[in-house]
Structure 1
Amino acid sequence: MTDVEFIYSQRNNYEPLKAVLRSGMDCAPFKLTEGLKEFIRSHGVGELGRLFSDKGCSIDIRPSIEHNLLRRQIRLPLLYSNPLSVAFYRATTAMRSRLSAILIEDRLNAYPDASALIFNGFMMPASLLMEAAIQRSRPMVMMENGFFPDTIQCDTKGINFGSTLPRDPAFYYWAASHITGDMPQTLVKRSSKQKGEELTNLPADYIFVPFQVPSDMQILAYSPWIRDMKHFYEVLYQLAERMPDRHFVIKEHPSFPLSIQKHIEPHPRIIFANHNETRKLIEGSSAVITINSTVGLEGLAIGKKVIVLGDAPYEMAELVISARSLERLQQAITALNEWQPNETLRQLFLRYVYNVFLLPGSFKAVDADLIERIRKRGRGEDTHSRLLAEYNGLQQSSRSTL
């Protein structure tokens, strides 16, 4: 018997998790030299050719390589627009990816009862572990930073839109008696990487538009019609031309250093407020338009009307307005004065997310209590998992009697 209960694969949060789990978590080496040494010890020098063969491992590494390449092309466009750079990246990354994949496979084979513990899952090597776990029907515990301070997303299916958080309003009415605790009061603070000063002369009536990181999975995986932030701006420009009474205030994502402002045509009623505090921008707005940002959820917490353009975990009828085209977005803005979110649903949903779905805790301060909460979520022994299973069972029973 082995005491390894989790297989991990990345640097993100490795140290705080390992400090508590100790021998209960195993992870492949991060350094190439250490990984090669382990490969040779386990498989022998004669097997090194596997690292250069498309059949060297059972995990399909190509999607992960292309995801990573696309992120680099977005963040470093000058370097990765060169075909030679792209070819070199694919070739060198393929070898390292196969090595990581093989070492992950070794661990899954060595610890058949261990779950895959995955942070985010969109970038390598976490994406390789996720692919291998899905391929083997191995239990997964997906993690990501929570929507509010000192909270963590933890789910057996995915994160954000890909999680098990229900998007059926009926679930929250059904679960109302189990939803205890207060509404979230504090929002995430974001420090900008761009230089500048706070704007003080904002319009009296504006719609707040928080931009997102264009290389993030929220855009690459969950934004069906907005390609990137330049495209988002172009959509807003068309709206401003069509709706002369509307002002839009944009805040580019503070953790993304590349601004689009030098690459777009300015509009007098579209204002960039990159250095203003996000909460104040939400509070001063008449509504929030977002692709699927956490800021949309924060807008709901403050009581603002929210229009969602992409796939968001809070995209529900009666809670937000969904707009999947320019025309539908214009209609949604026109309807803002008359439309109101369902206040009962808003409070039930936010209290459920904050008190039931999200785990209290921080990756900066991992302790035994947080690890136990992660275990319970992974085993389906926590309140969220039990409520979801009971509700799904009732729905299945209801359908079978029809």
Structure 2
Amino acid sequence: MHNVLYPLTYLGLCPFLIVLARALQAQHAYTPTYLAVTPAEAEFASNNVSSGSLVTLLAEEASPCADVFESDAQYYSVYGFMKAKYGGTDAVWRRRVNLIYRQLESLVLERKITCIVMWNGSDCLGKICQLVADRHQLKTVYIENGYFPNTLQIDPKGVNAESSLCDVTSSQWNVDSPRVMTEKKVEKTTPTNIVHLHFFQRLILKIKVLANLKFYDQYPELRDQQVRKAVKMTLPLSTSDEIIAQKKPFALVVLQVHDDTQILLNSKLFNSPKDFLLHCYQRIRAVFGPDYNIVVKLHPVDMRRICYADVAAEMQGVHWVGAEPVQPLLERCDFVMVVNSSVGLQSIAAHKPTLVFGESFYSRDEICGVVRTTGQTTDFLQQLKRGNWPVDAPAIDRFITYLHSNYFVKGSWSFGPDTDLSPAIQKILRINS
């Protein structure tokens, strides 16, 4: 018997999790329970799942709970990332953790939950789910975007730098004939219909937020939804075509969302993309000189959220590229510098010399330059300048082949005419076997 809990943590991802749960129930008798701990997700779920399968945990309807942990360190391990990202006081986050933990544990016991399927798992609810799963020996399935177009990560341990891939040794993938996971052939599974929030539901939700002065203390994980003043883009942007037309060698520095989990949790050398960017600029200039071209690829999500004008004033000869595909730049650049972006893996797959500054499952000496201390950057760049890049090209091909054959599955959280849920279903079945 499989009683599966699906925490609905992000409104945009609710459709994917719900149609996935429906398919698992219809095809394999996986009994779903949906957990919504925020108002919009609860309202969306009420449009699409039966009342018996939906459990809502709304802060304004709940009573305060006793502490679930003994130390501040235990609490911070659960909400520290979210607090750093969204703000709020320790007291607010502590109350939130107590409430969710108590109710989640009761739900697991009452419904005899055997598995929790969640997106990413790095947020506060995800951390609590992991702790409850460990305590009650439940299986876990973490889902996240893959590192190549139309792929997903589906993992029993975590995603990105927490995934089970980090435990895979070179002897498992860096061989001529690695073990390949084979999936049985199954029919295509298309998404079922979803009913989205209608205008009046959204309006009522907004009114409730405005009328509740304590809303963001009750739901600190939603503090990012507060109205923010958009940052004015003042950088002179170049296009990929303009840069390529110059026919000059250039380095490509790839920026990530400044408050993404990959930066806040898995970037030990730099606290922000600005620090990373300045470091890369200074080291490139020191090794390649003042006339060497540097191209900075901005992340589209951050273009109206963070201003780079202050660091741009300290950098000369830099081309800034905005929201356009990175692939043309990858194909023409001399080398790439990333913290731990998916672009880093794409760069490696394209056999571009890649310096990786953060923790990732692809931070491996066989396939890229893993920068573990800032002092190593210059050494790597000098090797590049001498044409002595210490990476084994066949190893790159073996690693990418291993990923496609054993780890990433075809699929996406967004639906299109060719959407097929069956690869994701087969991976979940294998984890649960």
- TM-score range (shorter-chain normalised) is 0.7 to 0.9
Instruction: Report which stretch shifted further, 54-63 or 261-270.
Output: 54-63
Among 270, 276, 279, the residue aligned to 1:232: 276
Corresponding position of 2:411: 361
The verdict on how the C-alpha distance between 1:194 and 1:374 changes in structure 2, with shifts beyond 3 A counting, is farther
Work out which of the residue numbers 195, 201, 210 in structure 1 matches 2:254: 210
Which letter maps to 2:137?
A: S
Q: SS of 2:67's equivalent?
A: coil
> What are the Cα deviations for residues 291-330 of structure 1, in whole angstroms up to 9, with x where unaligned?
1111111112222111111112112222111112232111
Kindly tell me: are residues 229 and 356 of structure 1, through their superposed partners in 2, closer, same or farther at Cα, counting changes over 3 Å?
same
Shift of 1:101: 2.3
**In the superposition, relative to structure 1, how do residues 17 and 320 fare at CA in structure 2: closer, same or farther (>3 Å)?**
same
Q: How far does residue 194 in structure 1 lie from its aligned partner after superposition?
A: 6.2
Structure 1: distance between partners of 2:81 and 2:271: 15
Residue of structure 2 equivalent to 1:77: none
Map 1:153-168 onto structure 2 (within 5 A).
Answer: 153-165=153-165, 166-168=167-169
Structure-2 change in CA distance of 1:377 and 1:214 (3 Å): farther
Alignment of 1:2-401 (within 5 A): 4-11=3-10, 13-22=13-22, 24-31=31-38, 49-51=63-65, 53-55=66-68, 61-72=75-86, 86-87=88-89, 90-165=90-165, 166-174=167-175, 176-179=177-180, 198=239, 200-201=242-243, 204-245=248-289, 246-256=292-302, 257-264=304-311, 265-336=313-384, 337-365=387-415, 369-379=422-432
Contact 1:289 1:308 in 2 (8 A): yes
Aligned length: 347
Which AA in structure 2 matches 1:30?
Answer: V
1:150 positional shift: 1.6
Alpha carbons of 1:21 and 1:228: their partners in 2 closer, same or farther (altered >3 Å)? same
What is the CA–CA distance in structure 2 between the aligned matches of 1:309 and 1:284, rounded to whole Å?
22
User: What is the letter of the counterpart of residue 32 of structure 2?
Assistant: M
Amino acid at match of 1:5: V
Q: Distance in 2 between matches of 1:326 and 1:57?
A: 37
C-alpha displacement of 1:69? 2.0
Per-residue deviation, residues 376-399 of structure 1 (Å, max 9, x unmatched): 3323x6xxxxxxxxxxxxxxxxxx
- Asked if 1 retains the 8 angstrom alpha-carbon contact of 2:130 and 2:140, the reply is yes
Equivalents in 1 of 2:159, 2:283: separation in Å? Answer: 32
1:244–1:161 distance in 2 versus 1, CA, 3 Å: same
Using the size of structure 2 for normalisation, the TM-score is: 0.70
Cα 1:345/1:371, change in 2 over 3 Å: closer
CA distance in 1, matches of 2:375, 2:261: 25
Which residue identity does 1:176 align to in structure 2? S
Q: Check whether the contact 1:321–1:332 (CA below 8 A) recurs between aligned residues.
A: yes
Rounded Cα–Cα distance in structure 1 between residues aligned with 2:9 and 2:181 = 35
Deviation, 1:201, is 3.9
Letter in 1 for 2:77: P
User: How far does the alpha carbon of each residue in 1:66-110 deviate from its partner, in whole angstroms, 9 at most, with x for none?
Assistant: 32221125xxxxxxxxxxxx44xx444444443322231122212
Q: Distance in 2 between matches of 1:14 and 1:126?
A: 15
SS in 1 for 2:174: helix
User: Contact conserved, 2:68 with 2:101, CA < 8 A, in 1?
Assistant: no
Q: Retained in 2: the 8 A contact 1:32–1:96?
A: no
Give unmatched runs, 5+ long, in structure 1.
74-85, 182-192, 382-402
- Quote how far apart the aligned CAs of 1:173 are: 3.5
Residue 363 of structure 1 and its aligned partner are, at CA, apart by 2.1
- TM-score between the two structures when normalised by the length of structure 1: 0.75
Cα distance in 2 for partners of 1:219, 1:378 equals 28
Query: Closer, same or farther in 2 for the Cα pair 1:172/1:63, shift >3 Å?
Result: closer
Unaligned residue ranges in structure 2 (runs of 5+): 26-30, 44-51, 183-231
Sort the Cα spacing of 1:134 and 1:334 in 2 relative to 1 into closer, same or farther, 3 A.
same
1:4 to 1:179, Cα distance in 2 relative to 1, 3 A: closer
Cα distance in 1, alignment partners of residues 371 and 339 from structure 2? 9
Contact 1:169–1:345 (CA<8 Å) still a contact in 2?
Answer: no
Alpha-carbon distance in 2 for matches of 1:30, 1:372: 25
Identity rate, percent? 19
Q: Is the contact made by 1:194 and 1:254 (CA closer than 8 Å) also made in structure 2?
A: no
By how many angstroms is 1:50 displaced?
Answer: 3.6
Distance in 2 (CA, whole Å) between partners of 1:254 and 1:227 is: 20
SS class of match (1:27): strand
2:194 is matched with none
1:71 maps to a residue whose letter is: K
Tell me if the contact between 1:292 and 1:308 (Cα under 8 Å) persists in the aligned partners. Answer: yes
Q: 2:143 aligns to what SS in structure 1?
A: strand
Paired with 1:148 and 1:289, the residues of 2 have a C-alpha distance of 18
State the distance in 2 between where 1:293 and 1:267 align: 23
C-alpha displacement of 1:65: 3.1
Cα RMSD (Å): 3.5
2:239 maps to amino acid: E
8 Å Cα contact 1:139-1:156 kept in structure 2: yes
